[in-house]
Chains A and B, each alone.
Chain A
Amino acid sequence: MGYLVIRGEKHEQAVLCSKDKTYDMKIADTSNMLLFIPGCKTPEQLKADQASCNVIHSQIAGFSNNYWELRRCRPKLKKLRKLLMEDPYEGPDSRKDQTLTFSKYTTEDLLSLIQASEEEILHQLQVIDACEIEGFWRILEFDYEMKLLNHVTQLIDSESWSLSKVPLRTCLEELGSLEPREMIEHTLLSYGRKYIDDGEVYFEMHEDKICRAIAQMLLQNAVKFNLSEFHEVWQQSVPEGMTTRLDQLKGLALVDKSSRPETIFLLKVEDLPEDNQERFNSLFSIREKWTEEDITPYIQDLCAEKQTVGALLTKYARSSVQNGVKVYNSRRPIS
C-alpha cells in the first residue's frame, strides 16, 4: 500500500519518505491563495453549449497558503551506524549484554529515528553486515567479528576446502561448540555468497572483503605503516590462496606517496561527515591536494541520482596541475 511518512527528530530537518525513497522537504508560501475544488471541470471538459448559461455552484473543499516542496535526496544513513555502534555485540560471553538495554534498536525504533525510507534502511543494514539478535539490530564489535572470521578461515585451511565451496553444515558442526551457530552463519553470509548445490548450502568466499577486513585489523593498531612492510605482513596474514591488492582498500586506507618511505594509514569513509561541504572540508584538512583517483572513493557516496564524481569536484573543489598531474584542492582556505 502506498503511504508517505515524515521522519526526523526535533533537531533535524524533516524528510518525507515513501516505501523506498527519501525527499528533503521545504515549505513554500504562495502569495496567491490555493482553493481546492474536487470535481472542478475545465472549459474543455464542459459541453460546448453556447446557448445555455451554466452557473455551477461549487463547494471549496479546502484552501491553502503554502505547500510542501519535495526534492529527492540521499537517505541519511550515517546515523544508523552511529546508533548501532553505541552498543556493538561482543559475543554471548560478554557480560555487557545482560545489563544495558537502552542502546538497542528494533526495526520499529530505526524506522522512527533514521531519516530514510524503509527499503533504504533495510538495505543499509545488509550493507553494514548488521544482524538481528533477539529482535534487536546489532553490529558486531570488530575484534569479535575478526575472531569469528578467523575460526572460519582456519577451518577452510585445515579442511583444504576450495574458497568457492565452503559447506555450511560442516562449519556449523565443527565450530558450533566454539561460537553460536547464528554467528557462524552470519559470518559466512557477511563474507561469502550463499548458494545451493545438490541440496546442500555452500558459500563462495569474498576474497576482496576478507583481505580488506584483515588490512583494517592491521592498520587500526598503528597511526601509519611503512607501505612495503605493510604489503608483506598483509599478504602473510590473509588465508592461503588469497591475493592482496591495494585497490581492495578503497575508502578504507590511504597511501601517502609523498613521504619517504611511502606510508599507508587508515581512513574510513564512514567516519567522515555526511554533508557534502563538511566532507570536502574534512578531506582537504587531511590532505591539501588530491588526485581524482585518490579522492573518488571518499566522495562516491555523495553523488545524487545521476550525479558524477566529476560534477561534485567541479562544485566543491578547485583544480590545478602539479607535476603534470591534475589535482584538486579546497575552494576556500581551510583553518
Chain B
Amino acid sequence: MLEGLRPHPALLQAAHLHRQQLKLGPEHGADRHLQGVPVLIVGHHILYGKVVQLEKPFAVLVKQGAGEPGPAGPHACYTVTALIKTKLLFKTRPKPIITNVPKKV
C-alpha cells in the first residue's frame, strides 16, 4: 500500500514504482546514493518515501451477496481478501523532475 499526498486522480494511472540507485546532484544539498528507498513518480514529479510496518494491519474486505437491500433479499457479508501489513509512506513535497537543463551560452 502506498500512502501519499493527494495527487490529481488523472495522474494516478501514470504512477510508477521506481527502485534504483539514484544519484542526487549538489543542487539538492546532498551527494549520496539512495538505495532501497521507495520512489514514487507521478507525471513529472517525484516523491521519496520510506517503508513502514503497520502497527495494526489493514484487512481488505470484499462485499458478497446482497442484491437489493431489504428484508427479503439475501444478507450481505464481507470476506477478507487481503491483509496489508506494510505501507510505503510518501510525505515529502513532490519535486519536479528536470530531465534536460539547457546550459546558458
Given contacts A2-B79, A3-B64, A4-B61, contact A32 B6 (CB under 8 A): yes
Given contacts A3-B79, A55-B18, A60-B15, 6 further A-B contacts (CB under 8 A): A32-B4, A34-B1, A38-B82, A42-B38, A55-B16, A57-B16
Give the complex CA separation of A297 and B35 in angstroms: 62
Q: Does B24 contact A (CB under 8 A)?
A: no
6 tightest A-B CB contacts, nearest first = A43-B36, A35-B2, A53-B20, A4-B78, A3-B77, A56-B17
Is A46 touching B80 in the complex (CB atoms < 8 A)?
Answer: no
**A interface vs B, CB < 8 Å?**
2-6, 30, 32-38, 40, 42-44, 46, 48, 50, 52-58, 60, 63, 67, 111-112
Is B75 touching A56 in the complex (CB atoms < 8 A)?
Answer: no
Is B21 touching A42 in the complex (CB atoms < 8 A)?
Answer: no
- List 17 contacting pairs A-B, 8 Å CB cutoff, sorted by A: A4-B61, A32-B5, A32-B6, A35-B2, A36-B1, A40-B88, A43-B19, A44-B51, A52-B20, A54-B20, A56-B16, A56-B18, A56-B19, A58-B16, A60-B12, A60-B15, A112-B75
Give the complex CA separation of A33 and B91 in angstroms: 11
Is B58 touching A67 in the complex (CB atoms < 8 A)?
Answer: yes
Inter-chain contacts of B5 with A (CB < 8 A):
32-33
Q: Find the B residue at minimum CB distance from A1.
A: B79
Is B79 touching A46 in the complex (CB atoms < 8 A)?
Answer: no
Give the complex CA separation of A111 and B77 in angstroms: 12
| Chain B, range 47-93, C-beta contacts under 8 Å to A | 51, 58, 60-61, 64, 71, 75-80, 82, 84, 86-89, 91
Give the complex CA separation of A211 and B65 in angstroms: 49
**B interface vs A, CB < 8 Å?**
1-7, 12-13, 15-21, 35-38, 51, 58, 60-61, 64, 71, 75-80, 82, 84, 86-89, 91
Inter-chain contacts of B38 with A (CB < 8 A):
42-43
Report A17 CB to chain B, min CB distance, Å.
10
Q: Find the B residue at minimum CB distance from A5.
A: B77
Given contacts A3-B64, A54-B19, contact A40 B1 (CB under 8 A): yes
Give the complex CA separation of A43 and B89 in angstroms: 13
Inter-chain contacts of A5 with B (CB < 8 A):
75-78
Give the complex CA separation of A67 and B56 in angstroms: 12
Is B6 touching A33 in the complex (CB atoms < 8 A)?
Answer: yes
Report B101 CB to chain A, min CB distance, Å.
20
Give the complex CA separation of A38 and B17 in angstroms: 13
Q: Find the B residue at minimum CB distance from A111.
A: B75
Inter-chain contacts of A6 with B (CB < 8 A):
76, 78
Give the complex CA separation of A48 and B16 in angstroms: 19
Give the complex CA separation of A50 and B36 in angstroms: 10
Give the complex CA separation of A53 and B75 in angstroms: 50
Give the complex CA separation of A5 and B63 in angstroms: 10
Inter-chain contacts of B12 with A (CB < 8 A):
35, 60, 63
Given contacts A56-B18, A58-B17, contact A33 B4 (CB under 8 A): yes
Give the complex CA separation of A50 and B34 in angstroms: 11
Q: Find the B residue at minimum CB distance from A63.
A: B12
Q: Find the A residue at minimum CB distance from B33.
A: A50
Report A130 CB to chain B, min CB distance, Å.
22
Is A42 touching B88 in the complex (CB atoms < 8 A)?
Answer: yes
Inter-chain contacts of B13 with A (CB < 8 A):
60
